[in-house]
Amino acid sequence: MDRIRIVGGNTLNGTIPISGAKNAALPLMIASLLTPETLTLKNVPNLADVNLLARILRNHGVDLAVDGKRPGGGGGAGETFHLTAREIVDTRAPYELVSRMRASFWVLGPLLARCGEACVSLPGGCAIGTRPVDFHLDGLRALGAEIDIDAGYVNARAPRGGLVGNRIAFEKVSVGATHNVLMAAVLANGETVLENAACEPEVGDLADCLRAMGAKIDGIGTSTLTIQGVSGLEAARHTVVPDRIETGTFAMAVAAAGGDVLLEGAKGEHLSAALDVLRQCGVTINETNRGIQVSRKDADLKPIEVETQPFPGFPTDLQAQLMALMTIAAGTSVIRETIFENRFMHVQELARLGADITLNGDTATINGKPGLTGAQVMATDLRASVSLAIGGLIADGETTISRVYHLDRGFERIEEKLGNCGAEIERIAA
């Protein structure tokens, strides 16, 4: 298994191109199941999760052609995917694949809507909490699906005449349930209203793409989506939004290491809460038409109190990175995680770098120190692993991160992007 070695202490200066968002690319690729015509997606990031989903979709009969292989990268230089699900050859998504990536469970809604039936493995456990799928199933049942669970599989069947629109109020904001039920509702008969829908930019991106495919959706960007079902969708082209989590991660890396970096192609309106937090910490942020300029020169980092919230609040996917940053703030910070239980696996690893963090239920108290010390650490999940890279950038001496396959799931060429800005970072192949 590959490792990443970082020697801390360098400031970061230069430009980092922001990739297409993983969390948008995944549901967008799944949307190709809804039509026999070709869906073209531009700016798709080259990530392990994207490649795994491509395998899963091929199993269902999706033909994938890729062009625009990036010659060394660059803002918006992701790959272009042409996905064509002329015929769905298999409506079953097996455990072996779904258990490796939770988002693949979202094929359920589209398969059910297009084929009238689907059999999808339950996603199973996850390192950051129990993460059930009850909202997904309740939503699809409300559209008329008959669903039973047998031997770890969800068996779903639509009524004879197809799914039927309904009013669905989600009990709690769920990104995945919104994606899943939205994709089913676009082909249902009549009107569906989704209340308390997730308004994360990735949901808006999916809805925009579905609209380009001929779906009728109102309320995009709000928590109420109104969908008038249509009988079929068509070919479309769509560009994946820039990754706001990658953007926030690099912004925190610059804040931690010091320096001045342009996050090229980033959209500030997709991460206002995180940028506000960084400004309160004393980081200089300028939003320009080229992206977001982040700089911190000699100023101390001020401590902060933050709780994670659904969009537009501070994202849970940046919680670990913010915590790494606060380990060197001048004072005590408090971070409360309200979205997932057990999303604190990075705490014990940051402690190996010398961080002073106390956990109490859903709340972490971080006593800032002047610096961290390099050590061997282990990645435990996607966002936790990148918080260790931030820790490594500020730690004195050498940090080695093992299990970097977690990083590869969601961060494209991270060692190259940071290395180009002056970080001493390298991948050590197994």
Interacting residue with ligand UD1 among 10, 104, 316, 385 (CB under 6 A):
316
d(CA 425, CA 305): 31
Q: For residue 209, state whether it binds ligand UD1 (rule: CB under 6 A).
A: no
- Label each residue of 377-388 as H, E or C: EECCCHHHHHHH
d(CA 3, CA 346): 17
Three-class secondary structure of residue 258 per DSSP: coil
The DSSP bridge partners found for residue 305 are 334
The DSSP bridge partners found for residue 400 are 5, 376
Least spacing, CB of residue 21 vs ligand UD1, in Å: 9
* Residue reference for tokens 């039936």: 117
Binding segment for ligand UD1 (CB under 6 A), chosen from 12-20, 131-139, 143-151, 153-161, is 131-139
Binding segment for ligand UD1 (CB under 6 A), chosen from 55-63, 132-140, 218-226, 372-380, is 132-140
Q: Give the footprint of ligand UD1 on residues 91-130 (CB under 6 A).
A: 102-103, 129
The pair of structure tokens assigned to 356 is 């002073």
Of the residues 115, 119, 126, 199, which is catalytic?
126
Q: For residue 242, state whether it binds ligand UD1 (rule: CB under 6 A).
A: no
Q: Binding-site residue total for ligand UD1 (CB under 6 A)?
A: 21
Q: For residue 407, state whether it binds ligand UD1 (rule: CB under 6 A).
A: no
d(CA 52, CA 303): 39
Kindly give the pairing relationship between strand 356-360 and strand 372-373: unpaired
Three-class secondary structure of residue 259 per DSSP: strand
Please identify, using beta-carbon distances, which residue of 103 and 323 lies nearer to ligand UD1: 103
Q: For residue 247, state whether it binds ligand UD1 (rule: CB under 6 A).
A: no
Q: For residue 317, state whether it binds ligand UD1 (rule: CB under 6 A).
A: yes
Please identify, using beta-carbon distances, which residue of 201 and 291 lies nearer to ligand UD1: 201
d(CA 349, CA 343): 13
Active site residue 209: no
Task: Label residue 298 exposed, middle or buried (CB < 10 Å: 0-12, 13-18, 19+).
Answer: exposed
DSSP string, 336-395: E--S-TT--HHHHHHHHTT-EEEEETTEEEEE--S-EE--EEE--SHHHHHHHHHHHHHE
Q: For residue 136, state whether it binds ligand UD1 (rule: CB under 6 A).
A: yes
Give the nearest residue (CB) to ligand UD1.
176
Residue type, 351: A
Interacting residue with ligand UD1 among 12, 26, 56, 241 (CB under 6 A):
26
Q: For residue 244, state whether it binds ligand UD1 (rule: CB under 6 A).
A: no
Q: For residue 226, state whether it binds ligand UD1 (rule: CB under 6 A).
A: no
> x-or-dash pattern for ligand UD1, window 331-360, by CB under 6 A?
--------xx--------------------
Query: End-to-end CA distance of the chain, in Å?
Result: 5
The pair of structure tokens assigned to 124 is 């199973």
Q: For residue 177, state whether it binds ligand UD1 (rule: CB under 6 A).
A: yes
Residues present in the chain in total: 430
Please identify, using beta-carbon distances, which residue of 38 and 308 lies nearer to ligand UD1: 308
Please identify, using beta-carbon distances, which residue of 133 and 240 lies nearer to ligand UD1: 133
The pair of structure tokens assigned to 115 is 């084929």
Q: For residue 176, state whether it binds ligand UD1 (rule: CB under 6 A).
A: yes
Q: For residue 167, state whether it binds ligand UD1 (rule: CB under 6 A).
A: no
Least spacing, CB of residue 142 vs ligand UD1, in Å: 13
d(CA 58, CA 406): 23
d(CA 154, CA 137): 9
Residue type, 266: A
Please identify, using beta-carbon distances, which residue of 6 and 197 lies nearer to ligand UD1: 197
Q: For residue 249, state whether it binds ligand UD1 (rule: CB under 6 A).
A: no
Least spacing, CB of residue 371 vs ligand UD1, in Å: 30
Closest CA to 406 of 93, 100, 125, 103: 100
State the residues that interact with ligand UD1 by CB under 6 A: 23, 26, 102-103, 129, 131-136, 172, 174-177, 202, 316-317, 339-340
Catalytic residues: 126
